Structure 1
Amino acid sequence: MINTNWLHTFCTLIEVGQFTRTAEKLHMTQSGVSQHIHKLEEQLGVTLLDRQGKTFTLSTAGQKLYKEAGKILTDLTNLQQSVVNDPAFEGHVRVMSPGSLGLKLYPQLLTLQQRYPKLIIDFRFAPNSDIEQAIVNAKIDFGFMTIKSKLVDVCCQPIAKEPLLLVTPSTIEQPNWSTLEALGFIGHPDGSHHANLLLSQNFPQFQHSNLFTKTGFSNQIGLILEPVSLGLGFTVLPKHAVDAFSPSSKIKIHPLPIPVSETLFLCTRRGIKLPKRIDTVIAEAKKSLQAEQVLGE
């Protein structure tokens, strides 16, 4: 393998044209420059320079080497820069979150991308279990979850809380237990879990969401409140999903005596140093979530 230091000295000598000036430019002695050239010739087994006293011309082999060496040294320089360079506002960032949180964060991260067009946001909506596995398998850079992972490879940091809300059609003024039973439940993938968390704390009659008549189901976070808005039932959803629904005039949010929130966890693969671009996106997400929480307190 060709010694890149010798190759760099050779190319610099050809560009400068003199041994003395080459030595000055490279902070070497003149004999050191000559030694590099001789070692390169010995390694390749060819004469690179046709010397005439203190001057020289390139041999045929020298011309070929100089033509190719410039490309090689440029590629090596670019490779080093790409490895060492860690830009804060450039590169791909892969994120996953539950649907409700995604409705809140994705538009804001797109605004961040508008400010820094080279920062490419890849945002996926997924349940906690899929997010957890994506982190373990390095398919994403980080994720948000509403449960703390028990896997040793996943590091979870609590960063905010998201309230769970009871939502009914706009015609319902103050729902009691019989009102909810009459309405029926609009299900969604986390519907039973959310209903159990919120309703069990506020209605002594509550035993399980499965005891409600099921009047609809949707696995699309943006559509869960559609049947509610049409008067077909009630549901329990995280706040960000409710905030994103339009027209909001067709639904009604009912504050309950005992508020219940889900903790939002920032999750990464344990032991991995995150690039600066990931830190940029995480900081923006934290700022959004924590600012909203302070305002809501």
Structure 2
Amino acid sequence: MDQALFVFVAVVERGSFTRTAEELHMTQPAVSQYIAALERTSGAKLLERTNKYIRMTKAGEIVYHHAKEIIGLYARMQNLVDDLSQVASGGISIGASYTFGEYVLPHVIGRLRDRYPLIRPAITIGNTKEIAELITHHKIDVGIIEGEYEDKKLLIQPFAEDIMEVVVAENHRLHSESRATSKELQSETWIVRESGSGTREATDRLFAQLQLLPASVMEFGSTQIIKESVEAGLGITLLSQWAIRKETALGTLRTIPAEGTPVTRQFSLVTGVAPYHTKAAQLFIDLLQEGEWAAGKLLR
């Protein structure tokens, strides 16, 4: 790998030639020489430097963005080569959308660590769109998303089914109904996730199916806040059974039979289209695709 790219990224992220030289065990003139060589190669000035700051030029921003990807790809390539002669070990970066990431993934990681204690997982949680973008830009090894998502640059493989139901507070009036109608659902305040999340995509699908135009909608970026709000009687929502297991066991939240429910969706594995994975990533993928997961028996 071109050492100048590595040095350039280090200078940008540390904001200092001096700190970069110290951390990379180089002299400051050597750092300057690497940056100058990269600027000659690219044919553009990449950094604006004064006594007070270091700032990327427009050309520098382009080089930085692609240098990060190149460094990540090089590291993955080296890991793949190392894996040929090593036991399962090393790091794996996993991205997951909120429902799976917060309520299911910790159990999966626990099982992975039991089998392969030398594997070191790093977890990123985001909505479905954010996780897909991290895979696209080679910033994580494996992603898990909820619901429907299409991108020709990614390999998306469903591996388990999720069930979603209408959720209300313990004492909500709809709890006494045998089956809530679309008219009753429309009169309620709905608390929903932000656009781009798998949970929001499922909620919008339910609204479209029932032709619902709720009287009031509140949008929050966290499933936990939504649960707390529903418990407080601020409205109703649609959530995965996995997200409310503790609350339903305690009796603070309840699911109700409602028209158009339950809503089913897929949990899907997302990777780049390259056919190779590190040994750690492949073992994690194999774990997800085992029979019990594919049969939809998540942790039962």
TM-score, length-normalised on structure 2?
A: 0.60
Q: How many angstroms apart in 1 are the aligned matches of 2:118 and 2:299?
A: 32
1:227 deviates by 1.2
1:212 deviates by 2.6
Partner deviation per Cα, 1:147-185 (whole Å, 9 max, x = no partner): 555433211112122122111112222234454345411
Is the alpha carbon distance of 1:284 and 1:148 closer, same or farther for their aligned partners in structure 2, counting shifts above 3 Å? same
1:228 deviates by 0.8
Q: How many angstroms apart in 2 are the aligned matches of 1:119 and 1:222?
A: 29
Is the alpha carbon distance of 1:278 and 1:198 closer, same or farther for their aligned partners in structure 2, counting shifts above 3 Å? same
Please name the residue that 1:267 is paired with.
270
Q: 1:198 aligns with which of 198, 206, 211?
A: 206
Is the alpha carbon distance of 1:127 and 1:273 closer, same or farther for their aligned partners in structure 2, counting shifts above 3 Å? same
Is the alpha carbon distance of 1:147 and 1:220 closer, same or farther for their aligned partners in structure 2, counting shifts above 3 Å? closer
Gaps of 5+ in 1: 1-78
* Count of aligned residue pairs for this structure pair: 211
Q: Which is higher, the Rg of structure 1 or of structure 2? A: 1
Asked if 1:281 corresponds to 2:265, the answer is no
**SS of 1:231's equivalent?**
coil
Is the alpha carbon distance of 1:192 and 1:117 closer, same or farther for their aligned partners in structure 2, counting shifts above 3 Å? closer
Decide whether the 8 Å contact of 2:83 with 2:279 is kept in 1.
no
1:111 deviates by 1.3
Matched AA of 2:280: R
Q: How many angstroms apart in 2 are the aligned matches of 1:255 and 1:283?
A: 36
Gaps of 5+ in 2: 1-78
1:99 deviates by 0.3
Partner deviation per Cα, 1:16-35 (whole Å, 9 max, x = no partner): xxxxxxxxxxxxxxxxxxxx
1:106 deviates by 2.4
1:87 deviates by 2.7
**SS of 2:212's equivalent?**
coil
Partner deviation per Cα, 1:62-102 (whole Å, 9 max, x = no partner): xxxxxxxxxxxxxxxxx9x94642433x1111111110011
Where does 1:203-214 land on structure 2 (aligned, <5 Å)? 203=210, 206-208=211-213, 211-214=214-217
Is the alpha carbon distance of 1:192 and 1:146 closer, same or farther for their aligned partners in structure 2, counting shifts above 3 Å? closer
Is the alpha carbon distance of 1:150 and 1:295 closer, same or farther for their aligned partners in structure 2, counting shifts above 3 Å? closer
- Which 10-residue stretch deviates more, 227-236 or 177-186? 177-186
User: Identity across aligned pairs (percent)?
Assistant: 18
Matched AA of 1:223: I
Decide whether the 8 Å contact of 2:104 with 2:242 is kept in 1.
no
Please name the residue that 1:145 is paired with.
145
Decide whether the 8 Å contact of 1:106 with 1:123 is kept in 2.
no
Please name the residue that 2:102 is paired with.
103
Matched AA of 2:231: S
Asked if 1:165 corresponds to 2:165, the answer is yes
Q: How many angstroms apart in 2 are the aligned matches of 1:83 and 1:157?
A: 24
Is the alpha carbon distance of 1:188 and 1:284 closer, same or farther for their aligned partners in structure 2, counting shifts above 3 Å? same
Please name the residue that 1:235 is paired with.
237
Is the alpha carbon distance of 1:117 and 1:154 closer, same or farther for their aligned partners in structure 2, counting shifts above 3 Å? same
**SS of 1:224's equivalent?**
helix
Is the alpha carbon distance of 1:294 and 1:247 closer, same or farther for their aligned partners in structure 2, counting shifts above 3 Å? closer
Q: How many angstroms apart in 2 are the aligned matches of 1:83 and 1:118?
A: 13
Matched AA of 2:143: G
**SS of 1:166's equivalent?**
strand
Q: How many angstroms apart in 2 are the aligned matches of 1:96 and 1:83?
A: 22
TM-score, length-normalised on structure 1?
A: 0.61
Is the alpha carbon distance of 1:87 and 1:233 closer, same or farther for their aligned partners in structure 2, counting shifts above 3 Å? same
- Which 10-residue stretch deviates more, 246-255 or 271-280? 246-255
Decide whether the 8 Å contact of 1:94 with 1:140 is kept in 2.
yes
